[in-house]
Each structure stands twice: as structure tokens, then as C-alpha cells.
Structure 1
């Protein structure tokens, strides 16, 4: 680990180190630092990060999800280093059982010595791996000292053979969400936004103001009444983006404003085919909205509000589509939950490793040693069985899933068409199962409601400027924003939203 920050050059797009005198680091640096901690303390997280960013054999060409509020490359570098360290430990533990096996040919005494050496080697591998991890956390991933000390996270990318100049440039280009195009994989397109919360969609008829639903029987119009001004989907989307940016970013009342706000329009499309699409930075943006085929792209107005040092992010995605004289409004709300609580434990570590800390690590290594030794013995004994299963699976018959209704069999191991879209972001992998604080849940709902309320008001303004009736739109939005428990005049309670009852219940 001595080469953690030994790079003498900076790769293209590297985040700038945080100055030691900067005091409290910004939110982007804080989130990146905590995710780097997760790479060292959470093996599942580190493996998932490597798989999503670099991939294994079948995922080498998959796009990297856009990174909002953090930097991918430092997290990937720490994940690669942590994974290599765990592999070294695992290799040493798997080799050590052969020592008593070889010494067993020399007699009982040699066998006992071999067993002792096996257990000691297992303990030593676990102890060294835990001690190096502790040193990395204390020396490189704590909050940087404001006095300019040597320790602390500086945002640099660790050196690793997999992080070549070409690979870093590719990831930097793909993680940049400012390109306006996102290639996604799976069912939901909003990769990187976190967990889906609610969705709403409704159509309204575009009638003239104060007109009825039915069109007039002749061409006569009321005197002084203005005609309807037709508009396109691009016009209303652009109007809402401009006005929403001006309202939310410039709006301030007694110093109270929405911080960490991002408003952008992005196209989402799949990346399934025989050839990998060009990078979002180089690809031209689609021009036609509402195309209906498997390679279609849809444009959404994306509004993100970060709170709690960007650990909790509320996202609202809005799509408007004009079909004939009908306006279709589609809204999706997502929540990016806080980073796992275990990653925050780095802030409780001491500023230096003391002898008592080393003794504590050695004691914990003894407990872990037993499980590692048993696991290594089981792995060695079952290795021939797993090897046989792998050999047999290569010649397995075609399953019913590989046949169509006409009985023609598709090649079972052929991959002419691949999915190159991003599946999930590094930030989504590191999010906790739920909020750590009651106020975090409330803040996500608060910002989602504020954004949705502002968007609906701007849509109403746009329609009124074109002499269109807004009564139906107002009624629809009032129902959506106030959904929950509604008590009707008859005394019945109607639940139009999600309902949870009981302590710590969630819906």
C-alpha cells in the first residue's frame, strides 16, 4: 500500500486534491471519500464497483453510469487495490493447508507442526490484511487535517495496472452526465437516480380557455376571445426548463433557498446491438420525441436536489408529450438513499495506529482465522466437484427457454446481440437499505413535492399564455400532490396513496 498515492502524473479528468487549508471538504469530496472507504471495508461493494466500471469477461464493453455528486475513478482505484489485497490473503490461506499434508509423510510430530504452521499462516494472512486496511483508512481516507497534515483524503486516484490512461479517459467521458445522453440497461431508464418512489401520469384536453369540452358547431367565435396558439413538445419542455432554473436557482427569501440543485434535460435510450454505440460525449442527441420502437430515446427534464452533504438526493423526472390536442404529463420521483452506515465509521478512527490498536486487530484476526481455515479446507475438498460441474455445463442440452414457439432452437452460448447499457451507478451500489434519520425521509419528500409543485405551476403558466384551459390540469395536479388519506362526505376513508401503520412501518 506504499504506492497508494505515488503517481507523479495526473490523468485526464482527475479530481483536484482538496487543499489542506480548505477546512470542511465539499459534499462531492465527502461522498467520494466515503465510497472509497466502502471499497476497503465491504468486499461485496468493491467487487460490484469493479464489475460495473471495468467488468469481467462478458461485461468489458458496458457503459459506466453517469456520476452525480461524486467521482468514479478514485472509488474504482481503491476497489481494485482492496480486491487485490483480499485475493492475496485468499491465495495464502488456500495454499497453507498443503503444509500439514506434505509434512504428514514425515510422521505424527511433523503433522502436528504442519497443522500449527497452517493455522499460523492463516492467522498471519488475516492479520496483515486487516492491519493494512486499517493503515489505509487512517492514513489516506480520514477527513484531511485543516492544519495541512500528511494524512487525509486528497481525491487522487490510486495507481493500478488496470487504470491505464485510455481506460481513465473512457470512464471520464462516460461518467460525465453533462452530455445529455444516457445509455441504460434494464427496465427503468433512470440509472444513477437511486430507488423509485412514485410515478404519476395523466392526459388533459387542450381546449380554449372557458370553452367546453365539445368543439363549437360552426366557425363562430365569441368576440374578443383569442385563438389557441399551437405548440410542440420541445417548446413546452424548453419553457419549463428555463423558467424552473430561474425560479428555483434565483428564488431566495431571507437567505432561504434550495442548495445543491441541478436542472438538466437528458435523453435516455437502450444500447442493445451487435456493435457498441459511440460514447455519449460523441453521439449526436436525438431530435424526435416520443418515438415508439425498441431503440427509441425519450427526453426527460431531470431535477436533482441534494441534501445532507449530497448523501440524500431527491430526483424528479418530467416528460411532456403533445398528441393531437392532448397534453400528456409524466412524472417519476426517485430517492438516492444515504451511504451505508458502516462506511461512516472511518470518522471515528484514531489519527494514528497505537500498539493497543495492533493488539485488537491481532485478537480479531484469531476469531476470523477459524472461519477462514475451515472455508479453505472445504474449498479444496470440493474443488474437483465444481470443476466437473463446469465441464458438464458446457455441453448441456438447450433448455426450453432457448426455443421459440415454432421449435427452432437458438444457439445456447451465442452472444451476437449484447446489452451495453449501464445497469447501476457506484453511488447506488453504496446506498443504505433505508434512511438513517427520520428527517432524511422527510427532506426527500419535501424537495420532491416542491419541485413537482413548481413544475405544475409552470405548465399552467405556459397553457395560460396560449389561451388554453387549465381547469382540468389544476384538478389533476391537486389530486396527485394531495394523495394520501382522503375523507369523503359520506364518512368513508379512501386511501389513494401508500399506507403504513405501526411503529417504524413503511409503505
Structure 2
């Protein structure tokens, strides 16, 4: 593998590129061949698809290491193939007999596999090890990544642009708009009438004393009009100030990000067009449903960005009614297999080299037969290759099957993220689970408080808001509004989950 590296992108990507989540995902490309192939397919082979937002990590180094790991595998196959050809030539020329040819082939199989293992171990022990942070320690993961011909400047710019989550446009595929955010935890919505707050006896123009007579509607203040943009901007500013900027150091949530993004589809009907046009690369995409929705995204990245809790908050004004939506998602920790990189020895020594040599010899039969069987299975006509692009067409139930004459429907939206593909089914530590609940409740409580203050400033009657607030807070993680697929979000949550539709799109 080449030793030259590219510099880490500046700005937003620089922080995400050095996170522990990015490091573990890069290590996973060497440890899991299926994950490596999936990363390459999602980010390189299917480059017509938009990259999902990257919460707490950078997809560019992960793709770079996936390509480096694949190149290492292909280099081993190339050397092995060349050695086998040379061996057969020597056998044909009579230089080697049958027994000598057999020993040469066996040695080639062992030595190429052994060298590949050593290079992989060396990469994990040096580039992808966790830095100690001690003075003078310049080793460990820095966010830099290997060069590769397929990782062009245009591709890097595309991934950087599309994976950004700082108020940009998120184009999703299928049913779920909050792609990349992980598994759902909780949701609720409210609709509040915007009626004026009642006037006190001292504010009444008639200066009446006492409460109004029975059945008499109290006089009310005139509501100060506001827009969705105004309430969203106010909530975003107050949430960032209360939880991070103006909070005391001990109470500050350092991993907090408050952003606003618009979620929309990106389905096109252009036959034979796999690459976006220049106009589409600049942001002029088709949205056949006109389904764009703007949400405030309050994200908390904890455990060095390995645990990411995100709340999506949406506001809408219709018919003198304020509608508020709240959706909480969590990116659970990365699967434990990828943490193997943290349990490896500090360096390669003679004893470890001998152990690797012996283990390579023991694994030789499986190493020979496994790839051959997988390659043969992939070549079967009823099982397409892993890198072949497939497009799901809408169900055609017309009488004459006229759908065969229609343009190809291509959904270019983000279907999943490489981070979601590496998510563990369970939390590794009990306190990761409790932090998910904690940050969801903190964001939820602060949101309700900030909205209440905004409505009070605009002279809205708060009686309905306070009643709904009490109901929401009293049913935290134990009501029908809670949903998700994890079974470890609290015992009171297991029997009351709603059956939210799941994303059934298995697009290309």
C-alpha cells in the first residue's frame, strides 16, 4: 500500500475526520470485507446516489482506506497470479517437476497471504491506532488517508459537499427522510391554537374588577404575528445559547450542534443518465412530490462522536394553529468487531510475526477455496455481481404493461450511510444507553421551555401549551409516542412502541 497521504480537509471535515468514529470505520474496512465492499459500492460505484449526511465522522478517509484495503487484496492476487503463471511455465520447460511445482504453488499461496496480513496489521498498528495524546506522541490516527487513483478531487469534493449537515439540503431515498441519523427513539407532535392571552383586570380597557361573569369570554390581547422562520431562528439561537454558548463550563454540552436542514426527495426520470448533470450538481434537482420539509436539527455527539443523539424539530403555521413535530434518533456505537484495532499489540515483534506465519499456514485451505467459491457464485446468471447497478422500477399493473415504454425511474437520494451500516445492535456500555435518554430529555425540555417563552413574547395564551407540555414530559420514554427498534431503551418502552412504517426501498 502506498505510504503517501493527502491532507485532511479544512473546516468542518477536519474535526469529523479525526473523530474516534472515523478511525473505527476506517479500521473496519480492513477487518470486514463485506463492509469494505459496501463502502466502495455506496460511495464510488453508485456515485449517482447522494451521500447521506455524516454525523460525527468523515466519509472520505473511510472510502480511502477501503480502496487501500481492496488494492492490497488485489496486489496479493496479482502477485499470486504472476507467480502461478511463472511456475507453470517452468514446469512446462522442465525446470520444475510436479513435486517442485506443487511446493512452489503452496509457497506462493502462503507468502502472499502472509505479507498481506503483515501489511494490514502494520496499518492498523500505526495509522489507525488510538493516539495517546501524550507530549511528543505523533503517531496514531490523524485523519490523513492514502492516495488512490479512484479517489479523485471531484469525488472528494462531491462527498464533502453532500455529507455536510450544516443547514444544507438533504436528499433522501424512499420513505425515511432522516437518513444517516440512525434508529428512531421518540416522536411526538402538537397542534396549538394561537389565541391571545387573557387580559388581566388591570389591563382591561374597562378597568373591571374581579373575574368575568360565568359564560362570558374574557377579553384577550392581540397576538403578535410571527412566521415559521422567526420561531425556528429563535429556537435555534436559544437552544445553542442555553446548552452550549452561555452555559457554565461544567454544564456545557460540548458536542452540541444546532443546524437547520431541508429534507427532500430526488427522483429523476431520465433514461440512460447515471451521472448528475451540471445543473443537478449545483443543486437544481427534481422533486416529483414537492415534498421538501425544513427541520431544526439539534445533535449531540458524545463518547468521541461514537454515540450521536439527534432531535429533529419542525414548525408549521396553518389555520391560526402552530404545529410542532419532534423526532429523536440515535446512532448507536460502532460494532464491537471494529474495536479490535484497539486490542492489537503495540508493535510487530518477532514472536508476533511467527504467530502470523503459523496462522496463515493453518488458514490456507479456507483462503484458497473461499474466494474461488464466492467468485463462482457471483458469476451465476441468477445472482448479479456485487458491483452491478440495479434499479427498482415502480410496479406495473397496467393492462398492456405500458410501463416497459416509460422512462427509467432513478432515485438518487441517500439510502443509508456508511456509519449506519457499522452500527452495533446493542450498546457496549450501560451509560451509553442512559446518555441517549438523557440528551433526548434535555433537548426536549429545553425546546418546550424556549417555545413557551417565544409564545409568551407574542402574547399567545399559554394554557394549552402548558397542558401539552405536562403530558409530553410525564410520558417520557414510556408512551405510545415512543418508537424504535432497539430493545434497550427502557422496560417501559417495550410494550408501547408504535409501528412506524419502515423504509422498504432496497434501491441500487
The question of a shared fold, defined as TM-score above 0.5 by the shorter chain, is answered with: yes
Partner of 1:386: 380
Distance 1:156 1:43 in 2: 22
Q: Determine whether 1:75 maps to 2:70.
A: no
Q: Determine whether 1:5 maps to 2:9.
A: no
**Alpha-carbon contact 2:167-2:260 (below 8 Å) kept:** no
Partner of 1:459: 451
One of 67, 74, 77 as aligned partner of 1:87: 74
> CA 1:188/1:402 → structure 2, altered by over 3 Å: closer, same or farther?
closer
> CA 1:173/1:280 → structure 2, altered by over 3 Å: closer, same or farther?
farther
**Alpha-carbon contact 2:187-2:482 (below 8 Å) kept:** no
Distance 1:297 1:390 in 2: 35
Deviations 1:371-396 (A, max 9, x none): 1223355457768x7258779xx9xx
**Alpha-carbon contact 2:187-2:481 (below 8 Å) kept:** no
**Alpha-carbon contact 2:307-2:333 (below 8 Å) kept:** yes
- Classify the secondary structure of the residue corresponding to 1:196: strand
> CA 1:279/1:136 → structure 2, altered by over 3 Å: closer, same or farther?
farther
Displacement of 1:323: 0.9
Displacement of 1:183: 1.4
Deviations 1:178-205 (A, max 9, x none): 2521111221111221112222123222
Distance 2:246 2:394 in 1: 56
- Classify the secondary structure of the residue corresponding to 2:301: strand
**Alpha-carbon contact 1:65-1:174 (below 8 Å) kept:** yes
Partner of 2:417: 425
Deviations 1:32-84 (A, max 9, x none): 22221112112122222222222x2xx23222223232222222111101122
- Classify the secondary structure of the residue corresponding to 1:264: strand
Deviations 1:353-410 (A, max 9, x none): 1011111112222332221223355457768x7258779xx9xxxx997532333242
What is the TM-score with the length of structure 2 in the denominator?
A: 0.78
Displacement of 1:433: 1.8
Partner of 1:348: 343
Which deviates the most, 456-465 or 130-139? 456-465
Q: Can you give the 5+ residue segments of structure 1 that lack an aligned partner in the other structure?
A: 18-24, 212-219, 287-291, 487-493
Partner of 1:208: 196
Alignment of 1:28-427 (within 5 A): 28-54=18-44, 56=45, 59-89=46-76, 114-144=101-131, 146-148=134-136, 151-210=139-198, 222=218, 225-253=220-248, 255-274=250-269, 276=276, 282-283=282-283, 294-376=289-371, 378=373, 386=380, 403-411=396-404, 416-427=408-419
Displacement of 1:336: 0.9
> CA 1:372/1:99 → structure 2, altered by over 3 Å: closer, same or farther?
farther
> CA 1:257/1:83 → structure 2, altered by over 3 Å: closer, same or farther?
same
What is the TM-score with the length of structure 1 in the denominator?
A: 0.78
> CA 1:444/1:277 → structure 2, altered by over 3 Å: closer, same or farther?
farther
Backbone CA RMSD of aligned residues: 4.1
Q: Can you give the 5+ residue segments of structure 2 that lack an aligned partner in the other structure?
A: 200-215, 271-275, 495-508
- Classify the secondary structure of the residue corresponding to 1:314: strand
Distance 1:503 1:418 in 2: 37
Distance 1:323 1:374 in 2: 64
Matched residue count: 464
Partner of 1:215: none
Partner of 2:502: none
Q: Determine whether 1:476 maps to 2:468.
A: yes
Displacement of 1:153: 2.1
> CA 1:33/1:378 → structure 2, altered by over 3 Å: closer, same or farther?
closer
Distance 2:482 2:330 in 1: 17
> CA 1:61/1:14 → structure 2, altered by over 3 Å: closer, same or farther?
farther
> CA 1:280/1:348 → structure 2, altered by over 3 Å: closer, same or farther?
farther
Distance 1:106 1:458 in 2: 85
- Classify the secondary structure of the residue corresponding to 1:327: strand
**Alpha-carbon contact 2:198-2:218 (below 8 Å) kept:** no
Distance 1:409 1:284 in 2: 30
Distance 1:16 1:496 in 2: 35
Displacement of 1:293: 6.6
**Alpha-carbon contact 1:93-1:373 (below 8 Å) kept:** no
Distance 1:317 1:325 in 2: 23
- Classify the secondary structure of the residue corresponding to 1:182: strand
Distance 2:483 2:426 in 1: 17
- Classify the secondary structure of the residue corresponding to 1:411: helix
> CA 1:377/1:82 → structure 2, altered by over 3 Å: closer, same or farther?
closer
Distance 2:13 2:227 in 1: 43
**Alpha-carbon contact 2:19-2:304 (below 8 Å) kept:** no
**Alpha-carbon contact 1:100-1:111 (below 8 Å) kept:** no
- Classify the secondary structure of the residue corresponding to 1:246: helix
Which deviates the most, 295-304 or 369-378? 369-378
- Classify the secondary structure of the residue corresponding to 2:250: coil
Deviations 1:311-364 (A, max 9, x none): 111100001111102221111100011122232232333332101111111222
- Classify the secondary structure of the residue corresponding to 1:338: coil
